[in-house]
Structure 1
Amino acid sequence: MTRETDDKRNFALREKSGEETSVFTGKMPRQAALKAARKLDPSDSEDAAPREEFRLRERGTHKLHIYEGWAWREDAPDDSPEWMPETVTEANVSKQEIEHLEEL
């Protein structure tokens, strides 16, 4: 099966219990992981941000993408639009591994 270049994929945030609580969309797993990381409790700086592990299951597959993510607060850019808040949440992720689930 080939994918179109503009196809979006859905990734479900999976808890340790196996419950899937949220869904994030992206062309690549990392894009969805960055969206998930922005939902973490942000720290005051990137260096002080605690790393948290989270798991994203690609919908329609048995692949479980495991990431370490962190989030922090940063001042908005000087050229930001008026509607943007003064501080924004930034995030970063690091892929740890991919697991293949036996069953869903």
Structure 2
Amino acid sequence: MAPDDDDDKRNFALREQNGDEPSVFSGRTPRQAALKAARRLDPAGSEDNADETELRLREKGTKKVHIYQGWAWEETAPNDSPDWMPEEITEANVSKEGIQHLEEI
């Protein structure tokens, strides 16, 4: 990994219905940021029982809002996980719904 690889990261603000942006997630792609946001959702007991939640991420410095459906669930950590990792971990997945262009920010 080259030292300037972090320069490729972009910031995406999680947007609520009222327009507030309480959290910012970084990633090279909108999907990577959406996965981080989805991991913060209340996890279900299994992926099959997980409820989908709409995630709206505005790319900072733009008027583009990436819209995803995200869900999270608990899973047992792998056998080769490090000692510091809890036995139950939160997994997440997202599905892109589209892009919205805001009139104003």
Q: Same fold (TM over 0.5)?
A: yes
- Once residues 18 and 39 of structure 2 are traced to their aligned partners in structure 1, the CA distance between those partners, rounded to angstroms, is 22
Task: Point out the structure with the larger helix share.
Answer: 2
The AA in structure 2 aligned to 1:34 is L
Residue 24 in structure 1 maps to residue 60 in structure 2:
no
Aligned equivalent of 1:50 = 51
The AA in structure 2 aligned to 1:39 is R
- Once residues 99 and 35 of structure 2 are traced to their aligned partners in structure 1, the CA distance between those partners, rounded to angstroms, is 16
Deviation of 1:66 (Å): 0.5
Aligned equivalent of 1:93 = 94
- Once residues 21 and 55 of structure 1 are traced to their aligned partners in structure 2, the CA distance between those partners, rounded to angstroms, is 12
1:43-79 Cα distance to aligned partner (Å, 9 max, x none): 0000000001110000000000000000000000000
The AA in structure 2 aligned to 1:84 is M
Identity %: 69
Gaps of 5+ in 1: none
Aligned equivalent of 2:16 = 15
TM-score (norm 2): 0.93
TM-score (norm 1): 0.94
How do residues 30-69 of structure 1 correspond to structure 2 at under 5 angstroms?
30-69=31-70
Tell me the number of residue pairs that the alignment of Structure 1 and Structure 2 aligns: 101
RMSD: 1.1
Secondary structure at 1:47's aligned position in 2?
Answer: helix
